[in-house]
Every structure is written in C-alpha cells, then in structure tokens.
Chains A and B, each alone.
Chain A
Amino acid sequence: MKVFHFTEQAYPEAWDQHQGSLRVVLPNRILDPKIAAERFHRYYDEWLLADELGYDIMVNEHHSTATCMASTVIVTLSVLARETKRARLLVLGYPIAHRPDPLRCAEELSTIDVVSRGRLEMGFVKGVPYEIPVANTNPVFIMERFWEAHDFIIKAMTSHDEPFNWEGQFFQYRHVNIWPRPWQQPHPPVWSTTSSRTNARVLGQKGYVMATLGSGYNTRALYDAYREGWRAAGRTEPAPPDRFAYLALVGIARSEDEARRRAELVAGYPRTSGIVAPHFRNPPGFLSVEDNARLLQGKTPPRSFTKDGRVVNMATASVQELIDAAIMFCGTPDQVYRQIVDFTEHCGGLGNLLMMGQAGHLSHEDTVDSLTLFAKDVMPRLKELKQSAAAAAAAE
C-alpha cells in the first residue's frame, strides 16, 4: 500500500469570521498575505519532509475559500516537482471541466511530469458543487465537458507525429502539438474521484485509479461497482488493489490521549468543509432531477456509514463517530495500523491511502511528529501488507 500525505493548505485564521459561508462569498480582505505566506511555506516544508520520510504526495485546489488556499494545483505541483526528490505527485484533483483551456492543462501537466522526471499522477475531477458559482461553468453540461476535456488532454499527450485539430462541442483548437510531451508513456496515470456507483462503473471500464472521500463503510459498494465495470471491459484478472484509493483523516501519536487531541484538530476539516450557503451547494443540473425532487421534499441520501450501519454526518460527527465510520484512523501506531487493515479488508483491497496528515489547526510541530511516527511505525507494515490476488478475487 502506498501512503500519500495531503493537506488542504487551509487558512483557519478565518474560520470564525464568516456569515454562514466559508466559501464563494467570504471576503478576501480577511486573509492576511503575510500569514498566508507563512502557511504556504510551512505546508511545502511538510511535503518536503513527507518526501524524505517515504510518503507520496497529494495536492488539490479549491476557489474563494478559507478551507483551502491553493487555488491552482499547478503552482503547488511546480514547487514540489522541483523541490522533492522521489515522491509520486498526485493531483486530486484538477477540475478540468472548469478550466477554460484544456490545451493549457495538457501543457502544464506535461511540463510538471518532465520537471519531476515522471512522477506525476493526474487526478481529473468533476469538482464539488460549490466550485460552480466561481468557475461559472454551466453545471448542466459539466460531465460532457469533463469527458471532452479529458479526451482532448489524453490525445494531446499521446500525439507525437504531427499537429492535430480539435473541433468539439466545448473546445476548438488548431495545430495541437504540446511541448514538452510527457515523460511517462503513453501518459501519466489517470485518477478520478466519485461518490456514485454509475460513475464508479465508468472508471472501472477505463481502468483508472478511483478514489473516494468520506465514503466510510459505503466504500465497498463503490469499489464493487468499479469491479463490475472493470470486468465488463473484458478483463479476466480482478482489479488489483492499486486501482483503489481512499482519503482518510489521520490522528496519530504515541499515546491514545495525545492522538485524540490531534484528531480533534484534524477534525476541523470535516467540520468546516461544508460551511457554505445552501444555494451554492446544489447548482442546477449537478444532481439528477429525481434527486432534486427528493431534496425538495427534504430527503437527503445518507453518504457515510459506520461498520454497523449507523449514518454519520461528517460535519457534526464526534471523533469517535469519525473513527467508527472509517473517515478517520486514530490512535497509537498499532491502533491506526489495525484500523487501516480492517478497512482494507472491508474494501476487498486498497492500494493507496490518501492520508490527510495535516488539517485545520494541527500545528507544524504536531504534523511533523505525526508524519514521522506514522512513517516509522505504520508505513513499513502497510507496505508489506499482503493483499493477495485471492482476496481481490474474493471481492469479485
């Protein structure tokens, strides 16, 4: 199992200064650029440490929000492509349907792949609904636009002999001929995220790495939908664990009490992430009309479950509930290891742990200590964890 260190690069100094929305409409005068600079450098330092400790690295972006200051993955990736030595650099994700110019995306990502000498993992995402008001992409066509941008980027990265033209529904180009072409052939690995079985099946057919976030004990159903798609594409071997990724919060320390203290700080992420005005949460066309009809009646489908079937609301859950729902792994190294192994068995295979090793108000010192402890006492055991083909086959 590979372990990726991830932080949202939050600006928690603003978390108590909102009028009901930490996203979209929170005025940027609240942000002090000097504090922001301190935080950016600190988050980069933690990624550099993660590189030294044997982690891989995950980065992301959001817009107009104090929950995540990174508004372009390309800046973060540029810094890390040059400054890190060995870690895989996973962007999860790049909201390609929101970008006006996928040619620029292909050029940027290829350059990152070359500068990092082939360490880029390309996660393409639809993006959360509250990105729509800022991106201004028509939410009704978001998935069509996503797949057209995806098809274009892949073609741009894999066409080497002569320029091509593109006259699509959303994008038009002439003389497409990107320099540099990517280091990895035929192109850097593709990842995506989903919370729907329908989309999981599509990702399985394509054989891309599929990540889920906060899906807890609902994860197995999504992985099984992926496996269905994987088989439907005519593959005879079961989908290997490295096709699956899970994003979890981690609170770890030498003592359980200290781990719980850190976990409370890390839980600042789920407790603030959803603070956004309701009308930005559900742009038209983002959900199906049937789902929207149910929403009008006040019926929201639960998303996160504990192992014994209790529904957990990420925004209000206690640390214990987050642990019960496998949204967080928390405790001493032994406890954390056992929780991860137990969850891996639930999933029927899991090759990539995306670890939110820093979130919210967790200090630099705490983050360094947590990352170091996990790298020393948990990661080696996870790397050796045998996920046999038999287990994967049983999952089929």
Chain B
Amino acid sequence: MAEEQKTVARVRLEWLERGEGRPILFLHPGIGIAPDAPVLDRLASKARVIAPSHPGFGRSEQPKDMTTIDDLAYFYLDLMDELRLEGATLVGISFGGWLAAEIAVKSTSRIARLVLADAVGIKVGARDTRDIADIFAMSEAELAQQAWFNPEAAKRDYKSMAESDLVAIARNREALARYGWQPYMHDPKLKQRLHRIRVPALVLWGEADRIASPDYGRAYAAALPNARFELLPRAGHFPHLEAPDEFAARVLAFEGDHA
C-alpha cells in the first residue's frame, strides 16, 4: 500500500499513502511529516490518506523553477487531477494550511471540505507588527517555547540521527524559506481571495499556539464564507503532533457533518 517515492505531476515525491475510502490530502507544515506520525494512522482508519512531502521538502525533489507558494498550489492542483481525486478533504497545518488555502482559492473542483489547522498565509494586523512569529529570528529553544504546548516534546537528539534524516531537516528549513521568506509566511492578496472558498471549512487551532495566535485563526475563519472555528486544548502550533487523537477526531467529525 505505502510507497516511498512516486512521481506525480512530473515531480519525484516522498510519498505516504494509507487507508481506504474518501480521500484526505494531507499537507504537512514546514517541519515535514514523519511516516510514523500517529495522526496519519488515526485518519487512515476511516479514510484514504495521501500525505506527500511537498516539492523541496523531506526527500521530495525540488524543481529549480518552483519558487513561490503559487507554484506549489498549481502543482497540487495538477496532482489532484492526475490522481483523479473526487470530493477530497484538504487538510493543511501551518505552512501546509497556507498552501491549502492557496489551492482552494484557485479551484475547489476536486475539494469538498477544507481543514486549516494553525494555518499561516494571510495578513490581518497592522503593517508595523508581525501576525506570525519570525521563526528564523529565534533559537531552537525559543521556537519550541512558542510553537509547542509542551516544549519538552519538541527536543530532538541530532547527534543520534541518521545523516539522511538530518539532510531532510535541513531541506525542510531551506524549502520553508524558499517559499515563505518574503513576504514572511503570507501572501498579501490571499485574504481578499478567501471568499472564493465556498466549501465547508474547519479552522482548527491549538490553544497554546504562539507562532500564530488563536485570534489570528478566528480572523482566518471570519474571512472564509463557510467556516467554523474550533480550539484544541493542550496543543500549540502543531496540534496534529501534540494531540493526534483529538486532531483526527475533529477532522473526522467535521467530515461526518459534511458527508
């Protein structure tokens, strides 16, 4: 069932796919997605989960001319066409949430539902303040404090990791900057385009997220025509990692409400 690599829409991707039924296209955050992330199995118990690494992330190829979030969004539209997905649920976390919104404003022809979890991508505050914490201007310890409900859980022992995993981490960081350095983690035009997303949307937010606050999430939900906002307790910017059971339960319940 699971394949490690797959070429889709002319790009060789690190490919994760498991489960059967309605398709969930799972768009990982900037830190990538591990094949053994429990959230994937929880979702796959009820759906067909497709969770590739984005071009440039993890072990996926980086096409040289793919340089913007728009390029990634059009790539995923091609991917959904090639896989002939119908009635998919698009789930995106953080950077993946931004990407999901950029895809959905362009076309929801293959998308029936949208889940944005702790998504970045829009500008809501004043021009002389950041809506989204500058993760490139903080130490790893500070980042863990801001992004996690339980910062201890973010700790990683790089010295014991395989070289290929370290390269994947370095590629994630580089790719995130490639697509999100400037304007920082947002597209100034996106908010005014969100009205185009008429499919039901769930905006899910870790209540301890200090990278993008719950109020930022509420503004996101308000800009979507058909969205509901839910807080996840005991979770920060990566609720799919800190609260995988609850995260999957909320996504599946939302699917059930809009079957």
Which A residues are closer than 8 A to B by beta carbons? 133, 136-141, 277-280, 283-285, 289-290, 292-294, 296-298
Q: Is there a chain A Cβ closer than 8 Å to B174's Cβ?
A: yes
Q: Are B178 and A279 in contact (CB under 8 A)?
A: no
Q: Which residues on A sit within 8 Å (CB–CB) of B177? A: 138-140, 283-285
CA distance A136 to B67 in the complex (A): 16
Who on chain B is nearest to A294 by CB? B166
Q: Are A133 and B136 in contact (CB under 8 A)?
A: yes
CA distance A110 to B84 in the complex (A): 58
Which B residues are closer than 8 A to A by beta carbons? 67, 136-139, 158-159, 161, 163, 166-167, 169-171, 173-174, 176-178, 181-182
Q: Which residues on A sit within 8 Å (CB–CB) of B178? A: 138, 140-141, 285
Q: Are B174 and A296 in contact (CB under 8 A)?
A: no
Given the contacts A277-B139, A279-B139, A283-B136, A140 and B163 also touching, CB distance less than 8 Å: no
A132 to chain B minimum Cβ distance, whole angstroms, is: 9
Q: Are B181 and A140 in contact (CB under 8 A)?
A: yes
Who on chain A is nearest to B179 by CB? A140
Q: Are B173 and A284 in contact (CB under 8 A)?
A: yes
Q: Which residues on A sit within 8 Å (CB–CB) of B166? A: 293-294, 296-297
Cβ-defined partner of B170 (8 Å) among A138, A139, A289: A289
Given the contacts A139-B181, A140-B178, A297-B166, A292 and B137 also touching, CB distance less than 8 Å: no
A299 to chain B minimum Cβ distance, whole angstroms, is: 10
CA distance A50 to B169 in the complex (A): 50
| Most chain A beta carbons < 10 A, residue from B163, B169, B177 | B177
B70 to chain A minimum Cβ distance, whole angstroms, is: 15
Q: Which residues on B sit within 8 Å (CB–CB) of A141? A: 67, 178
Q: Which residues on A sit within 8 Å (CB–CB) of B159? A: 297-298
CA distance A293 to B163 in the complex (A): 7
Q: Which residues on A sit within 8 Å (CB–CB) of B158? A: 296-298
13 contacts between A and B (CB under 8 A): A137-B182, A283-B136, A284-B173, A284-B181, A285-B178, A290-B167, A292-B173, A292-B174, A293-B163, A293-B166, A296-B158, A297-B158, A297-B161
Q: Are B169 and A279 in contact (CB under 8 A)?
A: no
Q: Which residues on B sit within 8 Å (CB–CB) of A297? A: 158-159, 161, 166
Q: Which residues on B sit within 8 Å (CB–CB) of A140? A: 174, 177-178, 181
Who on chain A is nearest to B56 by CB? A140
Who on chain A is nearest to B184 by CB? A136
CA distance A118 to B31 in the complex (A): 52
Given the contacts A297-B158, A297-B159, A279 and B174 also touching, CB distance less than 8 Å: no
Given the contacts A136-B182, A138-B181, A141-B67, A284 and B163 also touching, CB distance less than 8 Å: no
**What would 8 more interface pairs be, CB under 8 Å, given A284-B177, A290-B167?**
A138-B182, A279-B139, A283-B136, A284-B173, A285-B177, A293-B170, A294-B166, A296-B170
CA distance A270 to B236 in the complex (A): 41
Q: Are A133 and B137 in contact (CB under 8 A)?
A: yes
Q: Which residues on B sit within 8 Å (CB–CB) of A294? A: 166
CA distance A133 to B170 in the complex (A): 19
B174 to chain A minimum Cβ distance, whole angstroms, is: 5
Q: Which residues on A sit within 8 Å (CB–CB) of B137? A: 133, 279-280
